[in-house]
Amino acid sequence: MPDSYQIQRRQLLQAMMAAALPAGLVSCSNQASAGPLVVGGLPVTCNLTLPVACVAQGQRAGAAGPAFQYSKYSGWPEIKESLMAGRIQAAYMLAPLVMDLADKKIPVKIVSLGHRSGAVIMVRTDSPYQKFRQLAGKRIAIPSRFAVDFLFLRKMLAQENMTPAEIEIVEMPPPDMPAALYANAVDAYCTGEPFGAAAQSAGYARPLRMTRDEWRNYICCVLTVREELIQTNRPLVQDLVNYVLGAGQWLDQQQGNRDKAVQIAAGKQYFNQDPNIIRFVMENPTDRVTYGDLRMIRAEFEELMQLSIEAGTIKHPIAYETYMDESFAKAAQAATINL
């Protein structure tokens, strides 16, 4: 069959598909004008500022309708693909993954942090492990080699003068980790919350190490937007950043605010999780994850990059300006949250 026929047929099919799609899915610019800005996120407590920001802004908007809304994703690959394809224009993403995407000319920028701390290394309650070094030769699960949890694990190895070759690392979706530990399929797992708290609150696991104790300025999830959105609607990006920062401050002001956030996040349109598990994260201890200090500090990102280079997930240094837009954080006025 002639190549020209195949090309014409393909073009016709593409045109028919475009006509059948909702207008908001045809292009990024159309999507932005079709309704609220869709912001992707995972059902993890490192992303908790996003549901709070969405609800608070939506209540203030009233009849005018929300400016942005949360969209739950099941994993980082799905968010990454949606952001790369322009199906969404904003998301909470793993910081090293954004660095890598920007280096590969994907037009994305980090505009805000989302949290501090929040990763744990969990072992069975009945295990003999009390010191990290006792995990030598053991099987440890991580979410992804791009995850900052993996860098936390490597940081602990270096602290004990151990190498990654001294443990067996397996990649596993965080929701599967508690069951794998329970079944002795792994000896430990390193991940973000609430997947540590899920096993701990059930009584069969305990934290061996926590970022709150070992890496206080730990960050993994960052608010990332496509550059088209920055160019076409800076006020919307600024509003989103203001509400994220406001949500962070509100969450750390008092425990009562965290209780309200638990009820919001547990809802079906957000994390759709057992509120008792999210509450466990918020209370055991109260600084297991923190949100009030969302300053973007260049040295912290450069440390993260260096750790990623050493881990082999980033191949070479990437200029800070390639993946970062500090202008929104510098102009930010944290929104007042009334929930």
- Cβ neighbours of 121 (radius 10 Å): 24
Kindly state whether residue 1 falls inside one of the protein's structural domains: no
Q: CATH code at 203?
A: 3.40.190.10
Rg of the Cα atoms in the chain: 21
The pTM assigned to this predicted structure is 0.86
pLDDT of residue 34: 63
Short-list 131, 143, 239, CA closest to 190: 143
Please give the structure tokens belonging to residue 36. Answer: 């609220």
Which residues form the domain of 156? 119-214
| Residues 149, 120: Cα–Cα separation, whole Å | 8
Q: What integer pLDDT is reported at residue 52 of this predicted model? A: 98
Which of 291, 296, 298, 265 lies closest to 115, judged by CA? 291
**Structural domain contains residue 16:** no
| Averaged pLDDT, groups of 10, the chain, 339 residues long | 36 36 32 76 95 96 93 91 96 95 97 95 97 97 91 96 96 93 98 95 97 93 97 98 98 96 96 95 94 94 95 95 97 96
Supply 73's token pair. 């994703």
Choose the final residue of a domain: 214, 242, 273. 214
**Do 232 and 323 share a domain, yes or no?**
yes
How is residue 38 written in tokens? 């869709």
pLDDT of residue 145: 86
Could you give the number of structural domains in the chain? 2
- Same structural domain, 87 and 235: yes
- In 3D space, the residue among 109, 87, 84 whose CA is nearest the CA of residue 37 turns out to be 87
Spatial CB neighbours of 53, under 8 Å, sequence gap ≥ 6: 68, 240, 243, 244, 246, 247, 335
CA-nearest of 189, 187, 191 to 211 is 191
pLDDT tens by residue, 105-150 = 999 999 999 999 999 999 999 999 999 999 999 999 999 888 999 9
Compute CA 104 distance to the chain's CA centroid, rounded to the nearest angstrom.
20
Is 296 among the domain residues? yes
Residue 30 within any structural domain of the chain: no
Residues 96, 225 within the same domain: yes
Rounded Cα gap, residues 289 and 156, in angstroms: 19
* Domain end position, chosen among 214, 247, 273: 214
Instruction: Give the pLDDT score at 16.
Output: 35
